[in-house]
């Protein structure tokens, strides 16, 4: 498995491409924009999935057009699925941002698995930032969206957010065995061991 991660958009979203090297199949984790930069990152891989960590506008804006170009399946939790077609729920209406409605093709829940060639991507439910926030775990990598950040965590004051659920989700991540590379939704990438030792929200 190979991972490419780049920053996109005015909010510096980290969008990551998981590539199964044996089959060249890929999955895009969050999709902030549809642009030449995004096309270049996807490259000649066979894009099968667009894995959305949650439904806020800055993570889904590019999903509609990326799905149309590549035929990739959009994946999201059932709780956040309504955000894909509501500018109020996605917060786009409050930020002068486009909504770009898109249909979900696969609705996931905690413990589900997505197969990408020989690579297995596990779904972990991590509510707190939104009710339907999830992390995707593949091999030694966690794609944490807006749940776990470098020495911080996602905001919990948006609709369906919950400080109590966020703390529970962070403890759930902390309890995973071993170390992981953490591909966050914004800001610096990090590792789970570093966050266990240094993140005040994981204490």
User: What confidence tens digit (pLDDT) does each residue in 93-111 have?
Assistant: 999 999 999 999 999 999 9
User: For position 90, what pLDDT does the model report?
Assistant: 98
- Residue extents of the structural domains in the chain: 2-202
36: number of Cβ within 10 Å: 8
Smallest Cα–Cα separation from 28: which of 47, 9, 53, 54?
47
The 10s digit of each residue's pLDDT in 158-197 is: 999 999 999 999 999 999 999 999 999 999 999 999 999 9
pLDDT band at residue 203, thresholds of 50, 70 and 90?
confident
What CA–CA distance (Å, rounded) separates 47 from 41?
A: 11
Q: Is residue 122 predicted with pLDDT exceeding 90? A: yes
pLDDT band at residue 139, thresholds of 50, 70 and 90?
very high
2-202, CATH topology level: Metallo-beta-lactamase; Chain A (3.60.15)
Q: Is residue 19 predicted with pLDDT exceeding 90? A: yes
Distances (CA, A) of 10 to 14, 90, 132, 154: 11, 17, 24, 17
Name beta bridge partners: 13: 8, 186
What CA–CA distance (Å, rounded) separates 151 from 190?
A: 9
124: number of Cβ within 10 Å: 20
pTM score above 0.95:
yes
Helix (H) or strand (E) holding 70: helix 63-70
How long a stretch of residues is the chain? 203
Query: Average pLDDT over the chain, rounded to whole?
Result: 98
């Amino acid at each position: 498995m190979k991972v490419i991660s780049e920053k996109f958009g005015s909010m510096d979203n980290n969008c990551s491409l998981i590539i199964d090297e044996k089959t060249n199949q890929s999955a895009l984790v969050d999709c902030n924009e549809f642009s030449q930069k995004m096309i270049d990152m996807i490259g000649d891989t066979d894009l099968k999935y667009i894995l959305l960590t949650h439904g806020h506008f800055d993570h889904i804006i590019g999903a509609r057009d990326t799905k149309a170009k590549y035929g990739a399946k959009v994946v999201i939790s059932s709780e956040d699925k309504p955000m894909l077609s509501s500018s109020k729920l996605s917060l786009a209406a409050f930020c002068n941002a486009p909504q770009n409605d898109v249909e979900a093709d696969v609705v996931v829940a905690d413990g589900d698995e997505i197969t990408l060639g020989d690579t297995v991507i596990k779904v972990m439910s991590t509510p707190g930032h939104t009710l339907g926030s999830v992390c995707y775990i593949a091999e030694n990598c966690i794609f944490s969206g807006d749940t776990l950040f470098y020495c911080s965590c996602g905001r919990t004051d948006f609709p369906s957010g919950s400080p109590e659920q966020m703390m529970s989700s962070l403890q759930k991540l902390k309890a995973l065995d071993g170390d992981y590379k953490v591909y966050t939704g914004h800001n610096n990438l990090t590792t789970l061991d570093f966050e266990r030792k240094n993140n005040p929200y994981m204490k």
